[in-house]
Amino acid sequence: MFIFQDAPARRAENGLHGLLNVGFLAVVIFRLSQIAGKRLPLLGSLVKQVNHVVTGADLAWEVSVGPGFMLYHPTGVVMGRRVKAGANVKVQSSVTISEAPRGQETILGNNVRLGAGCRIIKPLSLADDVSVGANAVVTKSCERPGAVLVGIPARELPAK
């Protein structure tokens, strides 16, 4: 079922305990907001607000995220509209991905990891397997799979 498509990843990483934490609850409510929003946008926005109040995650129902989405600590996580993310994206607390202007998108590849407090503040794209360090501010696209971005503004660490 669509709303539980993220459960296998959560369970694989944390066992049954992983299904009982607030991060998983935030993802389930987010998936419900997507279902509701596609049928009735106002209802999707209402469910989004419930998620924000209950878990602290502010996830626009219009965000597109593949299966395996994980929020480790959902408090302060913000994802604006026109964000598209691949499978197995992992997000720490207080991450912000700002809303892209109409006609533009922010695109995250598969297996992207976003460290606590990082910010993505412009429409851009991150390749598969990119890791963004804690509190980094990403302002440019990164097309190298497996890259590690750190700093303000974020810069790519040299490959090993």
pLDDT per residue over 73-102, tens digit each?
Answer: 999 999 999 999 999 999 999 999 999 899
Q: Is the peptide bond before 153 cis (omega within 30 degrees of 0)?
A: yes
Measure the CA–CA gap between 153 and 135, rounded to whole angstroms. 10
Q: Answer with the residue of higher pLDDT: 131 or 21.
A: 131
What is 2-156's CATH number, 2.160.10.10, 1.10.579.10, 1.10.3720.10, 2.40.50.140?
A: 2.160.10.10
> pLDDT tens across 6-39, in order?
666 655 566 565 566 889 999 999 999 999 999 9
Residue 8: CB atoms within 10 A of its CB come to 11
